[in-house]
């Protein structure tokens, strides 16, 4: 199988590292995700990752009697660093070469985010894990994924979820829910489809950056998606090449 992308940005939510809806980091989840990622890099696809922190701390879940909103967001951003280091460690135990870059300085633990250096790492086949979100409160790691993908020239954002794409309703609750094959950014925004937050989708739209929503928990699926196969929802401009490729 040959990858159809040269450089991807994989967005992982923190929850992907946890056991089914629970908090913290689950070893088995970490191992299976790392295997998927390593497989893709072995195909020669340059892989950058933005990881969330929701499995440890989410700003919005704070108890604001004790933790104020902005501090909650700082804590959420710190949570992404913990996840990034866990992912790095697991990938390196599988002999993958990785670098973690943080939006804010954590120089004892990882590199600071430097765009040119990140690109160089990718060109050398290293997996780059971006942590720390945007470095600003009031944002999400989805927005960070959009920003980083644009900055490093990724061809696509692969948004990992538990289901095969975007549906008309929650497919885990409603068996009649239908999956969208393609959506434009405007359709996502206008129908409030909650794929990513509006800031992230708007950034993608303004920069013509396609997003593929797919199921990371299907074994081998990341490889399928990177090779242009597998079930998914594509979000793109109507006239984008990826859009055309799928329709034809
Ligand atoms: N966060 C933030 N600024 C950012 C990214 C994240 O303040 O640029 C905080 C925010 O509190 C968020 C938490 O970090 O709830 C964890 O990120 P997110 O919810 O995006 O993680 P995910 O849902 O992907 O695990």
146 token code pair: 């959009």
Percent of the chain with pLDDT over 90: 88
Please check the confidence at residue 244 and state whether its pLDDT lies above 80: no
pLDDT tens digit sequence for 206-220: 999 999 999 999 999
- For 105-134, the pLDDT digits (tens) are 999 999 999 999 999 999 999 999 999 999
What domains sit in the chain, N to C, each tagged with a CATH number?
7-247 (3.40.1160.10)
pLDDT given at position 61: 65
Q: How far is the CA of 139 from the centre of ligand 1 (A)?
A: 7
Atom of ligand 1 minimally distant from the CA of 134: 8
What pLDDT band is residue 247 in, cutting at 50, 70 and 90?
A: very low
| CA–centroid distance, residue 75 to ligand 1 (Å) | 9
Residues 141-172: tens digit of each pLDDT: 999 999 999 999 999 999 999 999 999 999 98
Q: What integer pLDDT is reported at residue 3 of this predicted model?
A: 96
Spell out which residues line ligand 1, taking CB within 6 angstroms: 13-15, 52-54, 58-60, 72-73, 76-77, 79, 133-134, 136-137, 139-142, 144
Q: What is the pLDDT of residue 66?
A: 85
Name the pairing type of β-strands 111-112 and 127-131: unpaired
Predicted pLDDT at 126: 98
Phi, psi of 100 (to 5 degrees): -105, 130
CA of 17 to the centre of ligand 1 (A): 15
Distance 245 CA to ligand 1 centre (A): 33
pLDDT band for position 245 (50/70/90)?
Answer: very low
Q: What is the pTM of this model?
A: 0.96
- pLDDT digits 0-9 by tens, 168-195: 999 989 999 999 999 999 999 999 998 9
């Amino acid at each position: 199988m040959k990858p159809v992308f040269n450089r991807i940005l994989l967005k992982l939510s923190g929850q992907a590292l946890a056991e089914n809806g629970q908090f913290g980091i689950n070893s088995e989840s970490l191992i299976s995700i790392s295997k998927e990622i390593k497989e893709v890099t072995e195909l020669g696809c340059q892989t950058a990752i933005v990881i969330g922190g929701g499995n440890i701390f989410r700003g919005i879940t704070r108890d604001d009697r004790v933790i104020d909103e902005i501090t909650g967001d700082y804590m959420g951003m710190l949570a992404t660093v913990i996840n990034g280091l866990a992912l790095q460690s697991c990938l390196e135990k599988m002999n993958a070469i990785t670098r973690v870059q943080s939006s804010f300085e954590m120089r004892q633990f990882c590199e600071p985010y430097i765009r040119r250096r990140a690109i160089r790492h990718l060109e050398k086949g290293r997996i780059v894990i971006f942590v720390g979100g945007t470095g600003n409160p009031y944002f999400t790691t989805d927005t960070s994924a959009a920003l980083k993908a644009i900055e490093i020239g990724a061809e696509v954002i692969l948004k990992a979820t538990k289901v095969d794409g975007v549906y008309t309703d929650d497919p885990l609750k409603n068996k009649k829910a239908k999956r969208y094959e393609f959506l434009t950014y405007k359709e996502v925004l206008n129908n409030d489809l909650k794929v990513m937050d509006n800031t992230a989708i708007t950034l993608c739209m303004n920069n013509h950056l396609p997003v593929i929503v797919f199921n990371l928990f299907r074994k081998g699926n990341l490889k399928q998606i990177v090779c242009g196969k597998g079930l998914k929802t594509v979000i793109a401009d109507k006239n984008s090449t990826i859009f055309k490729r799928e329709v034809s």
